[in-house]
Chain A
Amino acid sequence: MNVRDDFPILKNNDIAYLDSGATTQKPVQVIESIKEFYEKQNANPHRGAYALSVEATAVFEGTRAKVAKFIGARYPEEIIFSKNASESFNLLAYSYGLENLKSGDEVVLSIMEHHSNLVPWQYVTKKTGSTLKYLYVNSDYELSEEEIKEKITDKTKIVAITYVSNVLGTINHVKEIAKYAHKKGAIVIVDATQAIPHMRMDVQDLNADFLVFSGHKMMASLGVGVLYGKRELLNKMSPFLFGGDMIEYVYEQDTTFAPLPSKFEAGTQDVGAVASLGAAIDYIENLGYENIQKIENEVVEYAIEELSKLDFLTIYKTPNKENFVGVISFNINGVHPHDVASILDQEGVCVRSGNHCAQPLLRYLGVDSTCRASFYIYNTKEDVDRLVRGLTKTYNMFKKYLQK
């Protein structure tokens, strides 16, 4: 079986798609699930007394249960659907951060956080008079144990950290960080967005208090994100967005709110996208994370090998293979990443160039921007060969000007 055949977009475009860290392509099974929902089950869930609305509700709530099982949550109502990971983080910042932080408290992030798990914390720490602190990477682009023990202290109330860096591909030792943070009395928020396409998330094993990811980076459609939270924490939190479907009784001056999970899901949700998330989970489960890793490892290892041969390239990655997954950032020395990406584009190679929504990290590393090739199950060694050819061509175009 060749999984690449499941992705129609790769048949319709002659490209080496190396930007799965931005969004993955969708298998036909996921695309069909959206069509099926709108052709057979579409109605507004929770609203109607008629059979079709009941069916739409079943799709919506069934997917919630599926997500819960997928990540090891105890109860389906611990799964909150959002628009994307950014919205999930905003929910946490407003409904947990604003209400629980006070002057003197500290929030600890890693310097490799995506802006979505960074900017909201700047807002709430400023509002509450608490302090924002960062765990910095060492020369291996990893977080050292000393750094973790120095920055996470008795003052720390929230540790919000990414499982996998979207720039460096570094896998953080989230389980150990969570254990240490809990010992210090902090709650732990895990950004699983870049991790969940590649490896199984188990919220019990991690003992994460909250875990966030977006659907579209794991083959679901654009427009659905997930927030997992421990039930006792979610129960204590105030709603984030107010409006339809999140209420119990509404009076002229006061409202009581619906229980979990509806309390955090105001307004009509993108049920088609939620259905596609269910189909994406089925696709991952059918293939198995073991196979996903096997397919990826072969291509990514080949990529590292081939890119390492290009002496005009700087690669920003940890040398420790076991702490790395799926994302390779690099620069052609002396050539701006946007020029590289434009020339690669003409060769049919799609890479991201820029700051990857991680400006503080790049500033800390002392680079303006990088090119980033990110891989997924549909990538092949031919994709890597195209990338290498494109990079060599780019370098040759610039070479004579660089040597002056």
Chain B
Amino acid sequence: MDDLYNDLIMEHSMNSYNKKKLESCDFCEKGHNPNCGDEIELEVKLNGDVIEDMAFLGHGCAISQSSTSIMIETLRGKTIEEAREIIKTFIDMIKRETKDEKELEKLEDAIAFKNIANMPARVKCALLAWHTLEGILDKFA
């Protein structure tokens, strides 16, 4: 537990510099978990097939907010294809469908959420942003 609520996650949840509005964006998508009241609004700016920038607004628990911020950190500058792959790896990690260390390296800082798999009640908090972005990027599939 103390591992999960570590500096990285706390900083991203309480004081995220990704929590802002972009000057302009190509996509803006809302995500929410009605049962807990977690809400995010994710903005995505593309440059060709590269995710040039992302930002979010919202409120909710430390897990949902930090997961959004760290996802932005991880996927900024990646191509849509790379991002889709990383999202899949993240979801697989949370659902314990992959434990392949090499594969998980792709996640960079987002690997910090690995232990969420031990807390089934919080899985949907960690996945909120990733599912929201997945929904946006699926339009390019």
> Which A residues are closer than 8 A to B by beta carbons?
334-339, 342-343, 346, 353-355, 368-369, 397-398, 401-402, 404
Contacts and interface: CB of A to CB of B under 8 A. Distances in A.
A368 B62 contact: no
B1 A338 contact: no
A339 B63 contact: yes
Nearest to A355: B37
Nearest to A362: B37
Interface in B2-20: 2, 5, 10-11, 13-15
B128 to A, nearest CB: 12
Interface in B37-72: 37-38, 59-63
Nearest to B125: A338
Contact of B61 (A336, A355, A402, A404): A336
A297 B37 CA distance: 32
B37 A339 contact: no
A124 B89 CA distance: 47
Q: How large is the interface on B (under 10, 10 to 19, 20 to 34, 35 or more residues)?
A: 20 to 34
Contacts, number: 50
B36 interface: yes
B36 A369 contact: yes
A343 to B, nearest CB: 6
Nearest to A404: B15
Nearest to A357: B35
17 contacts: A334-B14, A336-B60, A338-B36, A338-B38, A339-B63, A343-B5, A354-B36, A368-B37, A369-B37, A397-B2, A397-B10, A398-B5, A398-B10, A401-B13, A401-B15, A404-B14, A404-B15
Contacts of B15: 401, 404
B119 interface: yes
A397 B36 contact: no
A368 B59 contact: yes
B1, B2, B5, B62 pick with most chain A CB within 10 angstroms: B62
A339 B14 contact: no
Given A354-B36, A401-B10, A404-B14, A339 B62 contact: yes
A338 B37 CA distance: 10
B121 interface: yes
A378 B46 CA distance: 58
The 3 closest A-B pairs by CB, nearest first: A336-B61, A338-B61, A401-B14
A346 B36 contact: no
B122 interface: yes
Interface in B53-97: 59-63
B38 to A, nearest CB: 8
Nearest to B15: A404
A298 to B, nearest CB: 31
B8 to A, nearest CB: 11
